[in-house]
Amino acid sequence: EIVLTQSPGTLSLSPGERATLSCRASQSVSSSYLAWYQQKPGQAPRLLIYGASSRATGIPDRFSGSGSGTDFTLTISRLEPEDFAVYYCQQYGSSPPGVTFGQGTRLEIK
């Protein structure tokens, strides 16, 4: 089973700053099967990025995804107050078949 490790666990930044979140896989992951989600307290997760780098419908262009193989990155170019939340990466694997999530990165206001 592929394990996704996100770092850092918590990231403290100020509005207007750039955020870089990492997701590392224990073995190679197809970029097509790597997604990122945002979750705010009391809410369901929201899809941000799919296919490692494609923004979901309605997602602002300050959010971008990149990476391949075992290393993936979510970048938020200029933090807005509403961006402070928990972010999860997710992969789908076929051997064994299933879905795994990273443990999450909490992005908090400094």
Residues that bind other proteins (CB under 8 A): 1, 32-33, 35, 37, 39, 44-47, 50-51, 54, 56-57, 88, 90, 92, 96-104
Torsion of CA 21, 96, 94, 100, to 10 degrees: -20
Residues 21 and 83: their CA atoms lie apart, in Å, by 13
Least separation in angstroms between CB 77 and other proteins = 22
Dihedral sign of CA atoms 105, 81, 34, 29 in order:
negative
Least separation in angstroms between CB 58 and other proteins = 11
Least separation in angstroms between CB 48 and other proteins = 10
